[in-house]
Structure 1
Amino acid sequence: MEDKAKMVGEVFSQVASKYDLMNDAMSGGMHRMWKDDFVAMLGPCRGMSIVDLAGGTGDISFRMIDALSSQRKIVGSAESAIDTHVTVCDINAEMLQEGRRRAKNDRPAVVDGISLQWVQGDAENLPFPDGSVDAVTIAFGLRNVSRTWKALSEINRILTKGGRFLCMEFSQVKDPLLRQAYDAYSFNVIPAMGGFLAGDPQPYQYLVESIRQFHDQETLADLMRDAGMKHVTYKNILGGVVAIHSGFRL
């Protein structure tokens, strides 16, 4: 477990500055649409406390703030009062640094009553009190956690009653023809693209292999239930290339 954590840390420290560029290249830009749909599925509302795990570069949190900013402040709250909290939590300091860099010019720490905070923390030992968070999200990060069951248990612990967990992750393609094409693209094109754009194919070789080794859709749903989550469902995108899992603490 420690070996995986160390390797994952090294990989993401290497790719932090090129991470978003490579996401565009690897997905043909589709990850932007997937993330828009992901945030829309959550439906963030004013007054919520939201934690985005493994969200160092800010892609999901920035979308949440955009969605929240279009909503009116809670009636009765003072003009300067903070009524909504979005927290980016990532174990990797370099990824958080990249997110802060992106946020520096056009994403102030507090805007229109919405606070944006950056916290370095481990998904398997989250630095948040029990029952303190209305929603937890993680996009393309759960497969990098050493012990999935432990992270899911921690997520369920910090959720309020009625709180929701939403996970978007690369998953398992069932159709044989699509899987063959997907494997060919993943193992040949993505590492080569990493070598060209980021100067090193090895981190992207790991990313591809980590996808194939991660739980399939049903297994992840079962792990969420084992962690105590209820009403667990999932939705496949592109035949299972990506899956969005949803669960609640009741």
Structure 2
Amino acid sequence: MNEDTTHFGFQQVPRSEKHKRVAAVFESVADKYDVMNDLMSFGIHRLWKRFTIEMSGVRRGQRVLDLAGGTGDLARRFAQLVGREGEVVLADINAAMLARGRERLLDEGIAGNVHYVQANAECLPFPDNHFDCITIAFGLRNVTDKDAALRAMYRVLRPGGRLLVLEFSQVTLPVLRPLYDFYSFKALPLMGRLVANDADSYRYLAESIRMHPDQETLKAMMAAAGFERCEYFNLNGGIVALHRGYKL
């Protein structure tokens, strides 16, 4: 890969085109996103997100940025935790996903302390030292320049703030790998075709997971961006990992 290209799944594409291709994927799946999340993970994604919220330490009155927040699973719970005195920003680069998240939260009566911003994680439109906590769940692997995004997150965190990255990662149990590969490359595209009428987007999902940095590499990237006390927690044999780091 040269400096003018990057990966889109297993393909090499011009860096300037990746965000457009990712946008097309999520515009295609936005309406079926929640249904497919439940089907793909057998509902376990809810437990992964609950663990993330528990590890965030978010309290009443704090400011939280939920990046790549999609349909608002994390933002909904954070809005309850921070209360009326706090603030949650649900941000996503994709307008269709952001609209779906806003519609969902408003339908559930969550308003007043949640704001919606269409934003690119690589150049966040927020002041320095602004948020107490940032989360990004299943979104970092879609970012073209992950190092730039991590630096941007560090900039907008307050001293004492923390970043939590929930993402598919490298399976640590050898016995799981062949089963996981079969599921990823055979079952996921089939489900995508049957449920969302879109096999290609879910084939991209499987490929993007394989191209994402492994646990130790992402931990080192967070440290290079300035985060301290970086650590990660493997979930379900490393299928997913939660990384956490602090701005001290």
Q: Give your verdict on TM over 0.5.
A: yes
* Paired position in structure 2 for 1:39: 53
- The alignment of Structure 1 onto Structure 2 pairs a total of residues equal to 234
Following superposition, the deviation at residue 100 of structure 1 comes to 1.3
Alignment check: 8 A CA contact 2:233 2:243 kept: yes
Name the aligned partner's letter for residue 192 of structure 1: L
| Separation in 2, partners of 1:120, 1:17 | 18
Following superposition, the deviation at residue 3 of structure 1 comes to 1.9
* Paired position in structure 1 for 2:62: 48
* Paired position in structure 2 for 1:99: 101
* Paired position in structure 2 for 1:247: 245
Name the aligned partner's letter for residue 47 of structure 1: G
Q: 2:85 aligns with which of 80, 83, 86?
A: 83
State the SS of the aligned residue for 1:239: coil
| Separation in 2, partners of 1:27, 1:7 | 24
Q: Structure 2-normalised TM-score? A: 0.92
Name the aligned partner's letter for residue 87 of structure 1: V
Alignment check: 8 A CA contact 2:63 2:82 kept: no
Q: Following superposition of structure 1 onto structure 2, how do residues 20-169 of structure 1 map, counting pairs within 5 Å? A: 20-69=34-83, 82-110=84-112, 115-169=113-167
Q: Within the alignment, does 1:6 sit opposite 2:20 as a pair?
A: yes
Name the aligned partner's letter for residue 193 of structure 2: G
CA change 1:163–1:194 in 2 (3 A) is: same
* Paired position in structure 2 for 1:235: 233
Name the aligned partner's letter for residue 178 of structure 2: Q
| Separation in 1, partners of 2:161, 2:19 | 28
| Separation in 2, partners of 1:171, 1:23 | 17
| Separation in 1, partners of 2:157, 2:124 | 11
Alignment check: 8 A CA contact 2:60 2:81 kept: no
State the SS of the aligned residue for 1:199: coil
Moved more, 171-180 or 99-108: 99-108
Alignment check: 8 A CA contact 2:64 2:132 kept: yes
Alignment check: 8 A CA contact 2:62 2:82 kept: no
Q: Structure 1-normalised TM-score? A: 0.91
Alignment check: 8 A CA contact 2:64 2:131 kept: yes
Following superposition, the deviation at residue 200 of structure 1 comes to 1.2
What value does the CA root-mean-square deviation take over the aligned residues? 1.0
Q: Which runs of 5+ in 2 are unaligned?
A: 1-14
Following superposition, the deviation at residue 108 of structure 1 comes to 3.5
State the SS of the aligned residue for 2:171: coil
Following superposition, the deviation at residue 56 of structure 1 comes to 2.3
| Separation in 2, partners of 1:10, 1:207 | 13
| Separation in 2, partners of 1:95, 1:39 | 21
* Paired position in structure 1 for 2:3: none
Following superposition, the deviation at residue 105 of structure 1 comes to 2.2
Name the aligned partner's letter for residue 96 of structure 2: E
Following superposition, the deviation at residue 104 of structure 1 comes to 2.2
Q: Within the alignment, does 1:215 sit opposite 2:210 as a pair?
A: no
* Paired position in structure 2 for 1:181: 179
Following superposition, the deviation at residue 40 of structure 1 comes to 1.1
Stretches of 4+ aligned residues off by more than 6 angstroms: none
